[in-house]
Amino acid sequence: MIVQDIISLIQIRSQHIGVTEDTHSMIIFINMALSELYRRFNLSIKSETIVTSPDLALYELRNEDVQILLSLFEKTGRELVQSDVLGSSCYDYKMVNYKSFLLNKPKDGYLYAVYKASPIPLKDIEDKILLPDCMLNPMLTYISYLTNDTINRDNKNEASMFIQLFDKQCQELENQGYKVALNTETLAIQAKGFV
C-alpha cells in the first residue's frame, strides 16, 4: 500500500470526528503509527560496519535509523562481551548511549554492529508503506486512537477504546509469532563470520 491509500482509509473510518484534510498531518499520524509498530514488533534489524583503530576507544553508529544498539561482532562472527557489572574489567565494550559504545581494548580492524532500526519516514502520498499486510488494521486503529486523542479531545472514552483495541490486535499478532525476539540466539550470526 501507499500513503494515499491509508489516508483514504483513515478518512472513511474517522468521518465522525472530522479528520483533517491536511495531508502533511495525516502523514505524521501514519509515521507515528509505523514507529509504534516497529517498536513493538522489532520489524527492522540492521547492521553497520565500523572501522576501529587502537587510537580511538569511543564509537558511534552513523546510520540515522538507529533505535538501539543490540550487539557487536568481530569479523570472525564472535560476539563481543558487553559490560553488565559496574567496575568490571572483563568486557569488550560498554554502552555509552543507545548508539555509542566504548571499546575496552581497541585495535585495528572491523566490527559489525547489529541494531534495531526505525522505519523509513514517509514524506509523500506516493511513498510505499513497508509493513506486513496483517499489521495494516492495527496501524489504522492506532491512527484512530491518535486522531481521537488529538482532534476529538472532548471524548476521551473513544480514544481509550481505540488504544485498548490496538493492544488487543497487537497481542493477537504476537500470539501468531510476528514479534521477533532481540536476544542474540535469534539474530544468529553464522559461526564462519562475515564475508
- Give residue-wise pLDDT tens across range 31-77: 999 999 999 999 999 999 999 999 999 999 999 999 999 999 998 88
- Residue 25 has a pLDDT of 85
Model confidence pLDDT, tens digit, residues 106-136: 999 999 999 999 999 999 999 999 999 999 9
What pLDDT score does 17 carry? 53
Segment 142-161, tens digit of pLDDT: 998 888 777 666 666 888 89
Give the HSE-up count for residue 64: Cα atoms under 13 Å, Cβ half-sphere: 3
pLDDT at 167 over 50: yes
Segment 89-118 shows an average pLDDT of 92
Q: How many CB atoms lie within 10 A of CB 194?
A: 14
Which distant-in-sequence residues (6+ apart) come within 8 Å of 65 by Cβ? 44, 46, 117, 118, 119, 120
pLDDT at 186 over 70: no
Q: Give pTM, 2 decimals.
A: 0.79
**Does pLDDT of 181 surpass 50?**
yes
Q: How many residues does the chain have?
A: 195
CB 21 within 8 A of CB 125: no
Q: In this predicted structure, what is the pLDDT of residue 140? A: 93
Closest CA to 147 of 41, 37, 32, 67: 32
**What's the rounded Cα separation, in Å, for the pair 20 and 139?**
18
Instruction: Label residue 164 by pLDDT band (50, 70, 90).
Output: very high
Kindly indicate the confidence band of residue 185, based on its pLDDT and cuts at 50, 70 and 90.
very low
Task: Give the pLDDT of residue 110.
Answer: 94
Sign of CA pseudo-dihedral 53, 100, 102, 111:
negative
- Between 123 and 90, the more confident residue is 123
pLDDT of 68 reads 93
